[in-house]
Amino acid sequence: MLCQTNSIPETPFFDLWPPHAKPDSQDSRNNLFVIGRMLMTNTTSATRSVIREAGEWAPVPPLHAGPEMAALRTFLFDCVWTGDISPNGMGPGSPRMSAMGKARFSPILDGAWIACDCEQDQFIADRKVITWKAHFVVGWDPRGNSYKLLYADNNGSSTLMQGRIDDASFICETAGDDAVQLRLTWTFLGNNEVEWRNECSIDGGPWFLIENYRCTPE
């Protein structure tokens, strides 16, 4: 509304506040009203100045697929896989498991991001014990000059990861300083095959393998 009018409303802006947040004295109300009028007046003047000096405003162009996203096609493609989950990989005391799964990748937002849906059956001695499902999106962040991956699964896990391409591998690691750090690595093996590894580090300790798979095009 401030961009559509040059007048300042007579009703103080704090009259719109919820009761528990309103000033408790008339002096406080008067002071806030003066400050509010100053802020509104100065903001309007500053806005006019910027428009005069910069000319017509133009939005930042939206992201589109670039070479960074094209480079991910080597690692991320519709595929199936088989492999193993290490002992303790699903938590302390969990046994070694075998697994078979699949993934579907789709470009979204004009190709600026790729969305993936994964599903995997896990077995103990040929007995299926769980079906794991996950969803993640990955894209290139030009401001951070890195890939970003946002992940969630049906185990209740979710995280933001930061990625890079290093030689023949696409590597994503947990962003921030959480005690539990994950590292996902897709390594191109040739012949349209990719090895996918999931590793973990706890409290800055050494990385240990959670699971390891060989992915082939479906």
Whole-number average pLDDT of the chain: 81
Higher pLDDT, 199 or 49: 199
DSSP for the chain reads: -GGG-SS--SS-GGGGS-GGGS-SSHHHHHHHHHHHHHHHHHHHHHHHHHHHHH-S--PPPPP---HHHHHGGGT--SEEEEEEE-TTTTSTTPPPEEEEEEEEEEEETTTTEEEEEEEEEEEETTEEEEEEEEEEEEEEETTTTEEEEEEEETTS-EEEEEEEEETTEEEEEE-S--SEEEEEEEEEEETTEEEEEEEEEETT---EEEEEEEEEE-
- State in Å, rounded, how far the first CA of the chain is from the last one: 54
Instruction: Give the tens place of pLDDT for each residue, 9-23.
Output: 444 433 433 444 444
Q: What is the mean pLDDT of residues 176-185?
A: 93
Instruction: Determine the pLDDT at residue 16.
Output: 38
Q: Give the C-alpha separation, 13 to 51, whole Å.
A: 26
pLDDT of 54 strictly over 80: no
Instruction: Tell me what pLDDT residue 43 has.
Output: 40
Tokens of 212: 């390891």
pLDDT at position 89 is 87
d(CA 71, CA 170): 10
Q: Report the C-alpha gap between 72 and 113 in whole angstroms.
A: 11
140 within 8 A of 112, measured Cβ to Cβ: yes
Provide CATH 2.40.128.20 ranges for the chain.
Answer: 67-217
CA 211 – CA 155 distance, rounded (Å): 15
pLDDT of residue 53: 56
As a CATH number, domain 67-217 is 2.40.128.20
User: What pLDDT score does 17 carry?
Assistant: 39
Q: What is the dihedral of CA 116, 134, 99, 71, to 10 degrees?
A: 30
Give the pLDDT score at 58: 87
Give the total residue count for the chain: 218
Residue 45 reports pLDDT greater than 50: no
